[in-house]
Amino acid sequence: MSAASTHSALSPPSRVLLGPGPSLVHPRVLQAMTAPIISHLDPIFLSIMDEIQERLRWLFHTSNPFTIAISGTGSAAMEAAVVNLIEPGDTVIVGVNGVFGGRLAQMIERCGGTALRLEFPWGHIIPPEAIEHALNRHHPIKAVALVHAETSTGAWQPLEDIGPLCHAHDALLLVDAVTSLGGMPVKVDEWGIDACYSATQKCLSCPPGLAPLTFSERAMAAIANRKTPCQSWYLDSSLLAAYWSERTRTYHHTAPISMAYALREALQIIYEEGLSPRYARHRRNQQALVAGLNVLGFRLLPSPEQALPSLTCVSLPTGWDDKSLRRLLLEEFNIDIGGGLGPLAGQVWRIGLMGESSRLEHVLHLLGALEVLAHRLGLSQHRQGDALQAALSTYTHPPSYPGNSTHTSCHS
């Protein structure tokens, strides 16, 4: 029998995506992807690129001319930031308190740079005084690289004080905002961030395949003054800038047309909701989830003050088996959540409430499923319904925010 005769229609299940990514996608975004394909140099498509740039600047809170969507996932934008800014002989201070800080350090070293790792326990933040000490001790420093939202631990890194510190030492600030952009404020200009990147499949609730990236004028000047060519042709910002610039529109690569349609629509949905309501929704649903999980015996890995609104990382209670319970959630309740990475494998769950996934009904669906499994398997002595009630009770109060400036001064 030929392979063609056994081929069946593609029919993946419709999962409730509550893991570290991808997140659920709005039907309007999926519908946008079905629009007719046109050329990547068609005037209509070039106008779509302009719209995407305008909305990304709004979302990043920046006026940076170089604000684009890399054709690739978040890791491509991470690599684009590193390969353009770092060349052999450069020294970079890297905050390593999870998987993605470590990945940044590896990319820097592959570019011939030296990564000075500031190692802190997973789930903790990198304190500004540690960065200041490293800046004072080592000179010159090309950049400081930090993860704003560490996907492996659910920890939120404050940034307001870091940019001025870096600039006082003539260093650039490079920030990973993959799991924060669109779910909590990312204020590139106000915080003095020089390079910032994200991904479409997290809080933007767009399929994976594009990665927002913005460079400040300071970053672009550093790139222009490189002594060696960028080691990547595909991710070379000077070539990409020529394609994304209204003035030049020089062919660089064939952009993923349907993904651009999707990102345009996803950004429009965010614009219609407004940033302040969107950030409040993420924090409110995260607080409800944590309240319910606490009843079941789960505990946050980071401190409550540093817990992300978009991704909750919790330690498993005694007796809860990671893989078997996640399998039951998937098979019986159609819920997909994430396990731990690296040294946290088997010890934590990572639950994403990002974009379209951050909804009251998803919080209640997950907690209800966990209560059913806990009672069936004898994993909890609480009364069934207590976790749901704890979650629902949080909605009678306005969401509270860690810190006092990062979240309370959000504007649409």
Q: What is the pLDDT of residue 399?
A: 73
Mean pLDDT of the 232-247 span: 92
pLDDT of 408 > 50? The answer is no
State pTM to two decimals. 0.94
pLDDT at 256 over 60: yes
Residue 272 CA to residue 406 CA, distance in Å, equals 22
* CATH number of 28-271, picked from 1.20.120.140, 3.40.50.720, 3.40.640.10, 3.30.420.40: 3.40.640.10
Tell me the mean pLDDT in the region 322-350.
Answer: 98
SS3 264: helix
Q: Which whole number is the average pLDDT over 240-266?
A: 92
The predicted pLDDT at position 402 comes to 55
The confidence score (pLDDT) of residue 406 equals: 37
Q: At what angle do helices 257-273 and 275-295 cross, to 10 degrees?
A: 90
Instruction: Name the band, by pLDDT with cuts 50, 70 and 90, for residue 410.
Output: very low
What mean pLDDT comes out for the span 393-409? 61
Between the CA of residue 397 and those of 185, 271, 280, 392, 394, what are the distances in Å?
A: 21, 25, 12, 10, 6
Q: What is the mean pLDDT of residues 95-120?
A: 98
pLDDT higher at 71 or 398 = 71
Tell me the pLDDT of the chain averaged across its residues: 94
> Average pLDDT, stretch 231-260?
92
Is pLDDT at 373 greater than 50 in this prediction? yes
Q: Give residue 404's pLDDT band: very low, low, confident or very high (50, 70, 90).
A: very low
Element (DSSP H or E) covering residue 379: none
Of the pLDDT bands very low, low, confident and very high (cuts 50, 70, 90), residue 248 is confident
Q: Helices 322-333 & 360-376, crossing angle to 10 degrees? A: 120
C-alpha distances in Å from residue 226, one per residue of 92, 241, 307: 15, 16, 38
Question: Does 42 score more than 90 pLDDT?
Answer: yes
pLDDT of residue 246: 75
Write the pLDDT tens digit of every residue in 178-206: 999 999 999 999 999 999 999 999 999 99
Q: According to the model, what pLDDT value does residue 412 have?
A: 33
Superfamily of domain 275-392: Aspartate Aminotransferase, domain 1 (3.90.1150.10)
Measured distance CA(349)–CA(321) in Å, rounded: 11
Taking the CA atoms of 23, 28, 31 and 36 in sequence, report the sign of the dihedral they define: negative
Listed residue (368, 365, 362) closest to 24, CA to CA: 362
* Mean pLDDT in residue range 293-311: 97
Evaluate if residue 249 carries a pLDDT over 90: no
Residue 243: is its pLDDT beyond 50? yes
In the chain, where are the structural domains located?
28-271, 275-392
Alpha carbon distance 328, 137 (integer Å): 51
Two tokens at 216?
């400040």
* Mean pLDDT along residues 45-70: 97
The pLDDT value recorded for residue 407 is: 37
pLDDT for position 403 = 45
pLDDT for position 386? 96
